[in-house]
Amino acid sequence: MHERGYFRWLCKTYLIDRQGNPDGYSILLEQLHRKAYYFTIDMDGNRAEDGLYLRTRYLEFLNGRPGSVPEGPCSFLEFLIGVSIRLEEMLYDGEDVPVSAYFWELASRLRLTEYTDDTYGEESTLFVVDAIMTDYMDRKYCRDGSGGLFPLRNHNGRRKDQRKIEVWYQLNAFLIENDSNFFSV
């Protein structure tokens, strides 16, 4: 039961932004939290570790108070938050861009933000959202990264197939192409 506190802490700490998100996305966020993140390229295990580190941060936040974190693999939600934290750390240039802004941008690139609490009234929504996460983890997106987190505009035959390189290198190629402007897509 205390693990519910961890989920609430994740949302409150990392996902509420200037626009008041995640209002209207609570069911989506719970589904992302229930889905285990897996990777097909070994070095993407580092991104899973970033997500798992959130559990340590939560226990530090509790400072000895009762509470617990989930056991097992990183969730898809933890993965996205972990990447968002990395982006915030990497791109900090004195401008206050919250982790939540990066998170919601990543979620929108996967088209997850189309699934508000209202859409979960449709029976197919759970399956569609699950398929989006699975397709991403199975790298069923385009060679240039379209349909993934870091699409490249100027992907010609000389660039590596984005489906075959780790997330970190996809991110860096995206930032180089966009002069470190993450929100330029």
In tens, the pLDDT along 6-36 reads 999 999 999 986 555 567 899 999 999 999 9
pLDDT at 55 over 90: yes
In three-state secondary structure terms, 118 is helix
Contact status, residue 53 vs residue 81, Cβ threshold 8 Å: no
102-161 pLDDT tens trace? 999 999 999 999 999 999 988 899 999 999 999 999 999 999 999 999 999 876 656 789
Residue 112 located in a structural domain: yes
- Looking at the whole model, is its pTM more than 0.85? yes
User: Is the residue at 149 inside a domain?
Assistant: no
The pLDDT assigned to 16 comes to 81
| Domain ranges, residue 114 | 3-139
What total of structural domains would you count in the chain? 1
Is residue 53 domain-resident? Answer: yes
Among residues 74, 66, 77, the alpha carbon closest in space to that of 10 is found at 77
Within a domain: 173 = no
